[in-house]
Amino acid sequence: MTITLRAERRSNRCSVLTLVLVSCAALAGCTTAPFGYPSPQPGPSTRAPGGSARPPEAEPAPRTNASAALLEQGKEARAAGRYAEATATLERALRIDPNNPLLWIELAEIKAADGDRAQAREMARKALTLAAGDRAIESRARRLL
């Protein structure tokens, strides 16, 4: 099967990247730009969507209380070599606190201790996507990757 594309009216495709490159090249050639910026670009840490203030969604510490207790139980089980129990306990914690990278990295290490290299790697990747720059978690994850 062959597909040929015949766009009837091809407006000039303007990928943002080329626009940026072209305009910047032009600027670099002829202007001396002032280095003071009128308004600071919102950094990635500003997270108010659409200009409206987000409701105070601050995850209450208690949610972590339950998952922290389970994390401790899981660690004990892992230390005793009861990997099935440790896994089940960590999964229970993840149902409560799924975006907590500590739980994912712990589960990754349980998988590694239990000889499941593939799952250890995947779970470490998951921990990394949630780590948000936490060095300790990043280095624990890298050891498994």
Partner 1 sequence: MKKRILLYVLLAIPVAALAYGAWVWGRIAREFDDRHWDLPAEVFAAPLELYQGLRLTADDLTRELRRLGYGPVSGRIAPGLFRRAGNTIDVHRRAFTYDGRSFPAQVLHLEFAAGRISALEDGDGNPLPIAELEPMLIGHLFSSHGEDRIILGPDEVPKLLTESLKAVEDRRFDQHWGIDARAMLRAALANMRAGGITQGGSTLTMQLVRSYFLSNRQTYTRKIREALMALVLELRHSKDEIMLAYVNEIYLGQNGARAVHGFGLASRFYFGKPLAELDVHEIALLVAIVRGPSYYDPRRNPERARARRTLVLERMRDAGLIDDAAFAAAKERELGVVSVETRRATYYPAFMDLVRRQLRRDYDDKDLEQRGLEIYTTLEPLTQAIAEQALATELERLERAMPGRPELEGAVVVTNPHTAEVRALVGGKRTGFDGFNRALDARRQIGSLVKPAVHLAALESGRYSLASHIDDVPVTVELDGGRTWSPKNFDDTVNGQVTAVRALAESLNLATVNLGLEVGLDRVARTLERLGVEPRRPLYPSLLLGAIELTPYEVAEAYNTIANGGFRTPLKAVRAVVDGRGRTLRRYSLEIEQVASPASIHALNQGLVQVMRRGTGAPAQRLLPAGLMTAGKTGTSDGSRDSWFAGFSADHLVVAWIGNDRNASTGLTGGSGALQVWARIIGAVETSSYDLPPPAGVERVHIDYRTGLSTDPTCPDAIELAMPAFAVPPKAVACGSTNTRTGSRLREWIRNRLQ
The footprint of partner 1 on residues 18-57 (CB under 8 A) is 19-21, 23-25, 27-28, 31, 33-39, 41-44, 46-51, 54-55, 57
Least distance (Å) between residue 124 CB and partner 1: 10
Q: Is 145 in the site for partner 1 (CB under 8 A)?
A: no
Sole binder of partner 1 in the list 77, 105, 120, 128 (CB under 8 A): 128
Least distance (Å) between residue 22 CB and partner 1: 10
Among candidate residues 79, 99, 143, the one with its CA nearest the CA of residue 117: 143
Question: Distance (Å, rounded) from C-alpha 130 to C-alpha 107?
Answer: 14
Residue 118, classified by CB atoms within 10 Å of its CB into exposed (0-12), middle (13-18) or buried (19+), is: exposed
Which parts of 108-127 interact with partner 1 (CB under 8 A)? Answer: 119, 122-123, 125-126
Sole binder of partner 1 in the list 75, 92, 112, 113 (CB under 8 A): 92
Q: Is 3 in the site for partner 1 (CB under 8 A)?
A: yes
Phi/psi zone of residue 116: left (φ > 0), alpha (ψ -120 to 50 degrees), beta?
A: beta
Least distance (Å) between residue 109 CB and partner 1: 15
Angle at 41 (CA atoms; ends 36, 45), nearest 5 degrees: 135
Least distance (Å) between residue 2 CB and partner 1: 7
- Who contacts 101 (Cβ-Cβ below 8 Å, separation ≥6)? 127, 128, 130, 131, 132, 134, 137
